[in-house]
């Protein structure tokens, strides 16, 4: 009898469904993983759900184990934690992280899974992909002891950056967001919080992750002369205006992109596996639990994602749990 699993597919922009899929028999160098939980990144993944990936970025935006093509039908996602049920002896029974979509069971090369450290609960490990983005951004930014830093945008990525920066010695870190409710998350992460109008200026570095034109403009305003904005936002198919007149040139400001699809060239010799291992080690800190702001059952995902995309269900990382009834 063929083995089957259940997978979440975007059937059309704004519409999702759960489909039954047939699993192949794992080869000698592959693993069969039973999913424990997965995570929905409210930024990128809800943009995909709305059908907002520009045609020019269809190839760049592909997830490692994506099926289908943008805008739909497509199986998309990249925050998956499960248990290896079949595979090489050294992985059998291990809890692993994989950049795989929302699916109850799956078969991938053994090299595509990363064992989760014993000190990291599986439920927290779903954050690994986003913390990996934060690690890459900070490799690009290369903050120094004594730097004055703002993180503008307290979404999942911005909060992950702030959480990592909170462990840097001798830096001033402030998390900036238009939503005053994000102050509680900042406290849990151990960083200061400010509304945009109240944010501290003269920053050596600003990490921008609000995905708004206003946030990027405010990021430039917060810089000290010769300061740098690291741009982490993904705008999809939206056009963004930026005030590059006024004092932009005289103050010698810098706007630099950072994208997790490439390992930062500031760390030559490091691999994707090295970067993910760093992220998983960081997740031993329970402060990161503040980034998981909701949970739903896998079978509810077709009803949950529209609410996440519209903002009716506010979230940073929304965790999806899997149980015996899920496949």
HSE (side-chain half, CA atoms, 13 Å) at 316: 25
Q: Which helix (H) or strand (E) holds 309?
A: helix 301-310
% of the chain with per-residue pLDDT over 90: 84
Clarify whether residues 253 and 232 are in a common domain.
yes
> Closest Cα to residue 117, out of 267, 318, 316, 285?
285
Query: What's the CATH number where 305 sits?
Result: 3.90.180.10
Query: How sure is the predictor about 2, in pLDDT bands with cuts at 50, 70 and 90?
Result: low
Strand stretches in the chain, DSSP E: 3-12, 15-23, 30-41, 67-68, 74-75, 80-86, 95-98, 105-109, 113-115, 148-152, 172-176, 192-194, 203-208, 223-231, 254-257, 292-297, 317-321
Residue 136 and residue 264 in contact, taking contact as beta carbons nearer than 8 Å: yes
Clarify whether residues 244 and 141 are in a common domain.
yes
The mean per-residue pLDDT over the stretch 234-241 comes to 78
Judge whether 78 lies within some domain.
Answer: yes
Domain region containing 148: 130-257
What pLDDT shows up at residue 142?
A: 94
What pLDDT shows up at residue 315?
A: 85
% of the chain with per-residue pLDDT over 70: 98
What pLDDT shows up at residue 324?
A: 62
Query: How sure is the predictor about 326, in pLDDT bands with cuts at 50, 70 and 90?
Result: very low
Query: What's the CATH number where 188 sits?
Result: 3.40.50.720
Judge whether 270 lies within some domain.
Answer: no
The mean per-residue pLDDT over the stretch 250-264 comes to 92
Domain end: 221, 242, 257, which one? 257
Distance CA(252)–CA(226), nearest Å, equals: 5
Query: How sure is the predictor about 94, in pLDDT bands with cuts at 50, 70 and 90?
Result: very high
What pLDDT shows up at residue 17?
A: 98
The mean per-residue pLDDT over the stretch 92-101 comes to 97
Better pLDDT: 234 or 39: 39
Clarify whether residues 231 and 316 are in a common domain.
no
Clarify whether residues 102 and 137 are in a common domain.
no
**pLDDT surpassing 90 at residue 255:** yes
Clarify whether residues 139 and 253 are in a common domain.
yes
The mean per-residue pLDDT over the stretch 218-224 comes to 97
What pLDDT shows up at residue 325?
A: 43
What pLDDT shows up at residue 57?
A: 85
Judge whether 275 lies within some domain.
Answer: no
Clarify whether residues 168 and 233 are in a common domain.
yes
Residue 223 and residue 176 in contact, taking contact as beta carbons nearer than 8 Å: no
The mean per-residue pLDDT over the stretch 88-104 comes to 97
What pLDDT shows up at residue 117?
A: 97
CA distances from 176 to 3, 47, 86, 140, 206 (A): 48, 22, 45, 20, 10
What pLDDT shows up at residue 244?
A: 86
Judge whether 200 lies within some domain.
Answer: yes
Clarify whether residues 134 and 253 are in a common domain.
yes
Clarify whether residues 134 and 106 are in a common domain.
no
The mean per-residue pLDDT over the stretch 224-248 comes to 86
Judge whether 136 lies within some domain.
Answer: yes
Residue range 284-306, pLDDT digits in tens: 999 999 999 999 999 999 999 99
Q: What is the DSSP string of 85-117?
A: EES-TTTTT-EEEE---SBSEEEEEGGGEEEPP
Residue 211 and residue 235 in contact, taking contact as beta carbons nearer than 8 Å: yes
Which residues does 130 contact at the CB level (< 8 Å), separation at least 6? 39, 41, 79, 156, 157, 160, 291, 317
Judge whether 327 lies within some domain.
Answer: no
**pLDDT surpassing 60 at residue 65:** yes
- Counting the structural domains of the chain, the total is 2
């Amino acid at each position: 009898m063929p083995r089957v699993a259940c997978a979440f597919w975007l059937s059309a922009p704004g519409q999702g469904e759960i489909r039954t899929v047939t699993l192949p028999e794992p080869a000698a160098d592959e693993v069969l993983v039973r999913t424990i939980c997965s995570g929905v990144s409210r930024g990128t993944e809800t943009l995909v759900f709305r059908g907002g990936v520009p045609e020019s970025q269809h190839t760049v935006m592909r997830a490692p184990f994506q099926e289908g093509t943008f805008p739909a039908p497509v199986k998309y996602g990249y925050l998956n934690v499960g248990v290896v049920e079949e595979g090489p002896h050294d992985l059998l029974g291990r809890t692993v992280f994989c950049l795989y979509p929302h699916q109850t069971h799956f078969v991938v090369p053994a090299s595509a899974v990363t064992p989760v450290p014993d000190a990291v609960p599986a439920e927290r490990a779903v954050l690994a992909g986003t913390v990996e983005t934060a690690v890459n951004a900070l490799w690009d930014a290369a903050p120094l002891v004594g730097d004055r830093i703002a993180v503008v945008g307290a979404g999942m990525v911005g909060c992950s950056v702030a959480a990592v920066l909170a462990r840097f010695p001798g830096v001033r870190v402030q998390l900036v967001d238009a939503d005053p409710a994000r102050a509680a998350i900042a406290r849990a992460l151990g960083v200061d919080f400010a509304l945009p109008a109240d944010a501290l200026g003269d920053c050596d570095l600003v990490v921008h992750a609000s995905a708004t034109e206003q946030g990027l403009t405010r990021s430039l305003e917060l810089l000290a002369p010769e300061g740098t904005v690291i741009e982490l936002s993904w705008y999809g198919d939206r056009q963004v205006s930026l005030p590059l007149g006024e004092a932009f040139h005289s103050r010698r400001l810098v706007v630099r992109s950072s994208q997790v699809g490439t390992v930062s060239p500031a760390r030559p010799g490091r691999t994707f596996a090295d970067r993910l291992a760093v992220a998983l080690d960081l997740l031993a800190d329970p402060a990161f639990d503040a980034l998981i702001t909701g949970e739903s059952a896998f079978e509810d995902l077709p009803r949950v994602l529209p609410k996440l995309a519209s903002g009716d269900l506010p979230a940073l990382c929304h965790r999806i749990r899997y149980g015996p009834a899920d496949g």
